[in-house]
Amino acid sequence: MPADTLYITDAIAIAGWELTESFVLASGPGGQNVNKVATAVELRFDLMNSPSLPDRVKANARRIFGRRLTKDGVVVILAETYRSQDRNREDARERLKDLILEANKPPPPPRKKTRPTKGSVERRLKAKAGRSEVKKGRGKIDSD
């Protein structure tokens, strides 16, 4: 059963066939339910070979996804926070969406070079001279 389409933005949508979900036993609280029902979700998405994402997003993804990205370019997200399979599935899809949105952000504007004002340079030098005088006063006194 293919997953539903995951809509990231108006321009980006990941088709359900690109997402692979497998359900595994979760750790943590839940009583006997933990031992019986596979509630944790492992979501896999082949990011680098996906036709749904622009090249700019794929380039930014390596930096943003970190350890969640395998050497083959597959994103692996494990969601086991909740005790129900449906909520973990939603959580995994939401986390993937957030990561792709982060990779989709435009680059920051280039930094404009600035110079310190004349007044700030003078204040800095005056403060340095003042500190120098204080430290000179801490030295040994010459007995003439």
Q: What is the CATH number of the domain that holds 71?
A: 3.30.160.20
Answer yes or no: is 38 within a domain.
yes
- Whole-prediction pTM: 0.68
Distance CA 98, CA 50 (A): 17
The predicted-structure confidence for 13-67, as pLDDT tens digits, reads as follows 888 788 888 888 777 666 666 667 787 888 888 888 888 888 888 888 888 888 8
**Other residues' Cβ atoms within 10 Å of the Cβ of residue 40:** 22
Given a cut of 60, whether residue 1 has pLDDT beyond it is no
The predicted-structure confidence for 58-116, as pLDDT tens digits, reads as follows 888 888 888 888 888 888 888 888 878 889 889 999 998 898 888 888 888 999 999 99
What is residue 133's predicted lDDT score, i.e. its pLDDT? Answer: 92
What is residue 4's predicted lDDT score, i.e. its pLDDT? Answer: 78
Owning domain of residue 43: 6-104
